[in-house]
């Protein structure tokens, strides 16, 4: 995956919610969009990252219900990368900090999220021959 930039592998347009949003609302948004995380943002920018694991362990695991505000449930402050950063550097950052996804920030605003899944998919695509789809179906 050498030479790939984060912008080439990230998931664009992440869910962004304020800290006062209920965990139930965030869980519904994540389900509807088919994603495993949401960014928590306030007037200063990204202040947290809430994953499906956070919902299970930090919220439900502590007997909090769906009306609980996410302010305290998000992992904060999140590590971030830029869209022009090398994808390999983002992977190393995640490995070194034992996280599976990080927000992608450009000029102070969230433009995406890059996950280990995004990076793995990019590696698989890069390893396939260019004509893999050209063969007739049998």
Query: Model pTM?
Result: 0.81
Confidence band (pLDDT; 50, 70, 90) for 128? Answer: confident
In a domain, 45, yes or no: yes
| 132 domain residue, yes or no | no
Is residue 113 domain-resident? yes
**89-108 pLDDT, tens per residue?**
999 999 999 999 999 999 98
- Whether the pLDDT of residue 132 is over 90: the answer is no
Instruction: With respect to residue 65, please indicate whether it lies within any of the assigned structural domains.
Output: yes
CA angle 112, 94, 30 (to 5 degrees): 40
Q: What are the tens digits of pLDDT across the range 20-75?
A: 999 999 999 999 999 989 999 988 889 899 988 888 888 888 888 888 888 755 66
Domain range spanning residue 65?
Answer: 6-127
Provide the number of structural domains found in the chain: 1
In the predicted model, what is the mean pLDDT of residues 119-134? 76
Tell me if 1 is assigned to some domain: no
Residue 122 within a domain: yes
């Amino acid at each position: 995956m050498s030479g790939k930039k984060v912008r080439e592998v990230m998931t664009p347009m992440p869910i962004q919610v304020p800290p006062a949003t209920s965990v139930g609302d965030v869980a519904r948004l994540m389900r509807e969009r088919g994603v495993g995380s949401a960014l928590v943002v306030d007037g200063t920018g990204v202040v947290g990252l809430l994953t499906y694991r956070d919902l299970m362990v930090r919220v439900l695991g502590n007997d909090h219900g769906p009306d609980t505000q996410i302010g305290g449930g998000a992992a904060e402050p999140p590590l971030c990368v830029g869209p022009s950063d090398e994808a390999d550097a983002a992977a190393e950052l995640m490995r070194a900090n034992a996280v599976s996804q990080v927000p992608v920030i450009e000029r102070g605003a969230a433009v995406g999220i890059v996950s280990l899944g995004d990076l793995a998919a990019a590696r698989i695509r890069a390893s396939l021959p260019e004509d893999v789809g050209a063969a007739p179906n049998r």
